[in-house]
Amino acid sequence: MAPKFETFEAFFPYYLAEHANPTCRRLHYIGTILATAVLIISVLSKTWWLLVLYPIIGYGFAWVGHFKFERNRPATFDYPRWSLMGDYKMLYLFLTGQLGPVLRDAIIKYGKAAH
């Protein structure tokens, strides 16, 4: 079970530390990008049944990363909204080249070993 957090800002370093494994992060990036593409396509084409795929794709990739590579419990189980926000923020930091130092600080703070 995740520690208790009152704000997303307090939660995010914990979230990052729970994604120390690079393969887990890559799977999150793939799932987030594909799920977002499905969401956009669904809205633009008004093909609403595609919305069913959004959580399946997003969680599918992420949970494989957690259970197979990170070997931890996804934070989504305790903080679903903040975990979704964390997925997008982690992807943004990665794409803009800002993830490294933020991830290192989070791993140090929560005592996780980077894989």
- Kindly state whether residue 1 falls inside one of the protein's structural domains: no
* Residue 103 belongs to domain spanning: 9-110
Q: How many other C-beta atoms are found inside a 10 Å radius of the C-beta of residue 88?
A: 11
- Kindly state whether residue 3 falls inside one of the protein's structural domains: no
pLDDT at position 111 is: 80
- Kindly state whether residue 83 falls inside one of the protein's structural domains: yes
CA proximity to 103, closest of 91, 69, 84, 3:
91
pLDDT at position 5 is: 96
- Kindly state whether residue 4 falls inside one of the protein's structural domains: no
Total structural domains within the chain: 1
- Kindly state whether residue 34 falls inside one of the protein's structural domains: yes
Q: What is the pLDDT of residues 28-70, one digit of tens each?
A: 999 999 999 999 999 999 999 999 999 999 999 999 999 999 9
Read off the pTM.
0.92
Mean pLDDT of 85-100: 98
What is the pLDDT confidence band of residue 113, given thresholds at 50, 70 and 90? low
pLDDT at position 13 is: 97
